Copies of this chain bind each other. A is one copy, B any other.
Amino acid sequence: MLTKNDFQIIEQQELAHDIYRVILHGEFNYAGVKPGCFVMLKLPDEAYQLRRPLAIAACDSVQKTITLIYRIVGDGMRLLSKLAVGTIVNILGPLGNGFSLENVDVGTEVLLVGGGTGLPPLMMLAQVLKEKGCRVSTAVGFRTASMIFGETEFERSGQLLLATDDGSRGFKGNVGELLASQTTVSKYTNVYACGPEGLLKMVQTRFVPTETAIYLSLEGRMACGVGACEACVVSTGEGTFNKCVCVEGPVFNGREVIL
């Protein structure tokens, strides 16, 4: 069930340079949330006509909270970061298909690949996979050390490989180069990726020739979030924009989607 409900901000914190975590309390279809699902947050300012899509980084059906982690990209995220604890914001959700949890079992080798603000949905995924007993490896990239967040969460779920573009922490280079540098490459059953287009393409290039199932979480400029406007289309076949990221995604089979 889809709802638009008022949530109250109960925590707002800067995690890293320009990266914030906000925890919201409210009613919601918690049972319907899968890792990779997202919400659309209405900004409390009448000049903004579009809700902002944000992945659910964590959710707690007992405490009735959802956690969002966001980067200050433009005016909307800046406004969000300035909202004080106690402020009410409206949340539409849960939206999207979420990551497939097929073929994951105790001991299954899975790889999570993320960059920047692609990490929040992977944080929830990592926890769920760990709970299922999978062997989780995560490779994440940041521009620079001051932008790193989520380390504790990913380390809790398994092995964490970390890269920064400028080498200020971890491997120097991007996540693709980091993966390429690994001498012993596990045979992953599933790879899950979320991040910039370049990162997703790298994952396609690397894993399409293998047996690994590939799940890519895409971004798209959205208006409705529910499949009504066809703003957020992507293609799984030449010469068409046949899939909506908001309802048929954001997670797509990495062998089908054309980036």
A47 in complex: contacting residue of B47, B84, B86, CB < 8 Å: B47
Additional pairs, 5, CB under 8 Å, beyond known A45-B45, A46-B46, A47-B47: A45-B46, A45-B47, A46-B47, A46-B48, A84-B86
Kindly provide the distance from the CB of A160 to the nearest chain B CB, expressed in whole angstroms. 40
Number of chain copies forming the complex: 2
Q: List 8 A-B contacts (CB under 8 A).
A: A45-B45, A45-B46, A45-B47, A46-B46, A46-B47, A46-B48, A47-B47, A84-B86
Docked Cα-Cα span, A45 to B86, in Å, equals 18
Closest B residue to A79 by beta carbon equals: B46
Chain B nearest CB, measured from A118 CB (Å) = 29
**Min CB–CB distance A42 → chain B (angstroms):** 13
- Alpha-carbon gap, A37 to B83, bound state (A): 33
Within 8 A of B (CB), among A42-73: 45-48
Report B-chain residues with C-beta under 8 Å of the C-beta of A84: 86
Q: For the complex, what is the distance from the CA of A106 to the CA of B236, rounded to whole Å? A: 88
CA distance A198 to B46 in the complex (A): 35
Q: Return the chain B residue nearest A84 by Cβ.
A: B86
Output the least CB separation between A43 and chain B (Å).
10
Within 8 A of B (CB), among A117-175: none
CB distance from A252 to the nearest CB of B (A): 35
A20 CB to nearest B CB, Å: 20
Instruction: Give the 5 A-B residue pairs with the shortest CB-CB distance, closest first.
Output: A46-B47, A47-B47, A45-B45, A45-B46, A45-B47
Q: Given the complex of chains A and B, what is the CA–CA distance between A86 and B86 in angstroms?
A: 12
Q: A46 to B46, alpha carbons, bound, how many Å?
A: 7
Alpha-carbon distance A48/B45, docked complex (angstroms): 10
| Bound complex: CA A201 to CA B89 (Å) | 47
A47–B75 CA distance with the chains assembled, in angstroms: 14
CA distance A48 to B84 in the complex (A): 21
Which residues of B sit under 8 angstroms from A86, Cβ to Cβ? 84
